[in-house]
Amino acid sequence: MNVIRVELAREFMLGDDVVLLAMDTAGLDAFATAINHAEEKGAWRLDHGGVIHDFRVRDGMADIELHDDRVLWRLDRAKTVEIIQDLTVLRDSGRPGHHYVDIAEPTDTDACAFTRRVRVSVFRRHSFNLD
């Protein structure tokens, strides 16, 4: 299976909003490959499960724009490298884990949580299985 899910999770972390990126191992590999290409080329696109992840590396940027069928990742080079390093740690660990990365939009707390898990509960009323 290849799972990549991105959601705005309200009140997720100590009552604060975060953008949650949840992946299985194959999804993590696909996402990591795409963001690595974006870091090298300045932009890249990943079409996954009917959602287009559009990566743009731009100076001074650190935001994520969420739509039903599209996620626009506008990140500066330093933030892109930070995410690549966090994804590498997740992949190399071979087990579930998570990292937080500061972003400017859309959350008030400036956090994006990258999670690799077997099962992730995103909202109090919703959960999804990554198996």
pLDDT band at 72 (very low <50, low <70, confident <90, very high): very high
11-46 pLDDT, tens digit per residue, is 776 777 778 888 888 888 999 999 999 999 999 999
Task: Among 51-55, 61-65, 91-95, name the one with the lowest average pLDDT.
Answer: 91-95
Which pLDDT belongs to residue 60?
87
Q: Is residue 130 part of a domain?
A: no
Q: Is residue 129 part of a domain?
A: no
Side-by-side strand order, sheet with 70-75 = 43-48, 51-57, 70-75, 62-66
Q: Is residue 114 part of a domain?
A: yes
Range of the domain at 33: 4-124
Total domains in the chain come to 1
Q: Is residue 131 part of a domain?
A: no
Q: How big, in percent rounded to 5, are the helix, strand and coil portions of the chain?
A: 25, 45, 25
Q: Cα dist. 102→70, 93, 108 in Å?
A: 21, 22, 10
Mean model confidence pLDDT for the chain:
78
CATH number for 73: 3.30.1360.220
On whether the CB atoms of residues 49 and 65 are closer than 8 A, the answer is no
